[in-house]
Amino acid sequence: MFGRKVLLGGMTATALVAASTALAVDPPKLGQPAPEMLIRLFDISIPPDGTGLPPGQATAKQGEAVFIARCAACHGEKGEGATNDRLASGVGTLQDEIQTFKTVGSYWPYATTLFDYVRRAMPYNAPLSLTDEEVYAATAYVLFLNRIIGETDVINAQSLPAVKMPNRDAFINAYAPR
């Protein structure tokens, strides 16, 4: 083996190392850095602790009109649509092998996840079209339909992370803490 040149795709090992080193030092000039404003438009994730929730607030009473106008076509006026689009009721059905309904009130562990999902994905035909106030309103209404908050409770960046969801403690962490 000593003294022989090993060819890899027509290149010696030495030439291959030199080529890869050159690429690492001088990468291709493709694209351009995204402007900060564009990054902010897409960086809208809200974790369970509520970090990054925007200003604004609403009550379920205010949310009813938003829900009926923008959500009821798929979810029904009281959030009890068909199996795959049901948002309310279902509490106590997770143990039922015949009729299980994973709804916001029966399954979801964090209220902030509801805000995040509504904000980025709803309404289905026009995602990202709701204002922050409308997202707070729709979120409040869905929480109210599930009897988690009252009709006049104010939902905002401070109160939403504090909402204790009925199934929060039923989740098991499959990964050991680091």
Structure tokens at 49: 């602790």
Nearest to 56 by CA among 156, 167, 159: 156
Residue 141 lies in a domain: yes
pLDDT tens, position by position, 73-104? 999 989 888 666 889 987 776 777 777 778 89
Q: What is the mean pLDDT of each run of 10 residues along the chain (178 residues)?
A: 50 62 68 86 89 97 97 91 78 72 88 96 94 98 97 98 92 76
Q: What is the pLDDT of residue 103?
A: 86
Domain that holds residue 153: 36-170
Residues 6+ positions from 44 with CB-CB distance below 8 Å: 52, 116, 119, 120
The three-class DSSP label of residue 134 is helix
Here the CATH number for the domain that contains residue 76 is 1.10.760.10
Count of the separate structural domains present in the chain: 1
pTM across the whole model: 0.75
Tell me whether residue 173 is exposed, middle or buried, using C-beta atoms within 10 angstroms of its C-beta: 0 to 12, 13 to 18, 19 or more: exposed
